[in-house]
Amino acid sequence: MDDMTEADIATAPEQSTAAEPVASASATARRPEAAGATRTGRRARMFKLRYALFALGALVLIVGGLFYWLSGGRYVETSDAYAAANVLDVSTDVSGLVRRIEVHEGETVTAGQVLFRLERTPFRLAVDQAQADLAQTRLNLRALKADYVRAQRQVAAQRALVAADKSNYDRYAALMRSHAGTIQQYDDAKYKLLADQAALGAGSAQVKSSLARLGGSVSLPVTAMPAYKLAAARLAEAERKLRHASVRAPFAGTVTQVAKLQPGQYLAAGTAAFGLVDTQDMWIAAQPKETTLTWARTGQKATVTIDAYPGHVWHGTLQSVAPATDQQFAILPAQNSSGNWVKVVQRVPIRVVIHEGPHDPPLSAGMSAEVSIDTHHVRHFSDLF
């Protein structure tokens, strides 16, 4: 620094100023190239990352789908299911006026409990009449036995009379041949024999008629004869109608729509009075697709959920799988012989018995349900090939 001359000091700034533009131009030329290289490297990394993500997503889908398939196929599930029970329209096979209704709406009844009663007077009168007819039939049959005995004795007497007439006729015929008798005596003996023989035939027919009315055997007891059995059957029918004048519950359950029947109403035979629902023995009626029942067998365990009680689970057992689809019972089943037939997956009715517990809420017939049947079937990877 000390050896520099003033001339050098004077020229130094000028040299520095001249060198600065050269360096700046070189840096400017290198900067776009570096930026382009940076962008190219970033783009390449993005492409690689994108392809890696695509491959990873496809792998996840394949593995997830394979796992879902292997873990599936065990349960038969359907939401096409409803709670079902024995539902009866209570009626009677006799006609009459309603005298008294013994139950009220929603009442739980037991099997054999009286639901309502009809006016019993006409039925009692019919029983009394049938009893009288039976007693009269017994008397008639006993009298018929006596008439049969009397008719037999009359036939025996008539047979003896015919034998006497035949003897007289033979005697007068011999006298006529010897010209010792008259023609009038001969004719009288002849026609008397014919008349008594005709009477004997009528008596024999009467005996056969009496025997036929006695059932073919006079030794039969009165109670075994057809006429007596007919009268006894009429009495039994009258007594049956009297019993059916009091309508009883055929099974335990809950009555409903009781207001449809009123005292004093005339109820014709076979007319529905009100409803009776068996709430003690309920089941689930479901209709899964036929393709889901490959491994379903009776006796397999099932779980049931009812839409009305979300979160509550009933346990049950697959009781039966219908031997025919609903299509087979249709009034107008599909005819698949045409050339434009389209195959449709059918529904197969099944029944799941519910094992109700003491804490299960009450069910009503017709409630919507969902069913899941555990078939215990396990899929294997080899099933794919």
- Residue 304 resides in a domain: yes
Is 70 exceeded by the pLDDT of residue 5? no
Alpha-carbon gap, residue 296 to 317, rounded angstroms: 11
CA angle 299, 301, 305 (to 5 degrees): 130
Three-state SS at 355: strand
- Residue 50 resides in a domain: no
The verdict on 239 and 141 lying in the same domain is yes
- Residue 320 resides in a domain: yes
Mean pLDDT score across all residues of the chain = 83
The verdict on 140 and 206 lying in the same domain is yes
The verdict on 132 and 195 lying in the same domain is yes
pLDDT for residue 23: 46
pLDDT band at 4; cut points 50, 70, 90:
very low
Beta carbons of 155 and 200 less than 8 angstroms apart? yes
- Residue 70 resides in a domain: no
Contacts of 264 (CB under 8 A, 6+ apart): 97, 98
- How many CB atoms sit inside 10 A of residue 331's CB? 4
Beta carbons of 266 and 95 less than 8 angstroms apart? yes
The verdict on 312 and 368 lying in the same domain is yes
The verdict on 147 and 213 lying in the same domain is yes
246: amino acid identity, one letter: S
Residue % of the chain over a pLDDT of 70: 85
Among 197, 221, 244, which residue terminates a domain? 244
List pLDDT tens digits, range 66-125.
766 666 678 899 999 999 999 999 999 999 999 999 999 999 999 999 999 999 999 999
- Residue 295 resides in a domain: yes
Kindly give the residue spans of alpha helices, DSSP state H, lying in the chain. Answer: 6-71, 121-177, 183-213, 226-244
- Residue 212 resides in a domain: yes
Beta carbons of 158 and 193 less than 8 angstroms apart? no
Alpha-carbon gap, residue 228 to 144, rounded angstroms: 12
pLDDT for residue 352: 96
Among 244, 264, 290, which residue terminates a domain? 244
Alpha-carbon gap, residue 105 to 260, rounded angstroms: 10
Is 60 exceeded by the pLDDT of residue 6? no
Rg (CA), the chain: 54
pTM of the model: 0.64
CATH of the domain at 369: 2.40.30.170
Beta carbons of 77 and 286 less than 8 angstroms apart? no
DSSP per position, 104-160: -TT-EE-TT-EEEEE--HHHHHHHHHHHHHHHHHHHHHHHHHHHHHHHHHHHHHHHH
pLDDT for residue 54: 84
Among 223, 244, 265, which residue terminates a domain? 244
Alpha-carbon gap, residue 112 to 194, rounded angstroms: 72
Q: What is the dihedral of CA 201, 204, 208, 213, to 10 degrees?
A: 100
Determine the distance from the C-alpha atom of residue 299 to the mean position of all C-alpha atoms in its chain, rounded to a whole number.
Answer: 20
The verdict on 163 and 237 lying in the same domain is yes
User: Counting every residue, how long is the chain?
Assistant: 385
- Residue 348 resides in a domain: yes
Is 50 exceeded by the pLDDT of residue 7? no
The verdict on 233 and 284 lying in the same domain is no
pLDDT for residue 88: 93
Give me 175's structure tokens.
């006298």
List pLDDT tens digits, range 305-358.
999 999 999 999 999 999 988 778 777 766 666 666 677 888 999 999 999 888
CATH of the domain at 180: 1.10.287
Alpha-carbon gap, residue 382 to 385, rounded angstroms: 6
More confident residue, 334 or 16: 334
Number of domains comprising the chain: 2
The verdict on 226 and 132 lying in the same domain is yes
The verdict on 347 and 287 lying in the same domain is yes
The verdict on 240 and 356 lying in the same domain is no
The verdict on 219 and 304 lying in the same domain is no
- Residue 186 resides in a domain: yes
pLDDT for residue 22: 44
Beta carbons of 356 and 282 less than 8 angstroms apart? yes
The verdict on 144 and 226 lying in the same domain is yes
pLDDT for residue 85: 93
pLDDT band at 219; cut points 50, 70, 90:
confident
The residue segments making up the domain with residue 363 are: 75-84+280-380
pLDDT band at 17; cut points 50, 70, 90:
very low
List pLDDT tens digits, range 156-198.
888 888 888 888 888 878 877 777 777 887 788 888 888 888 9
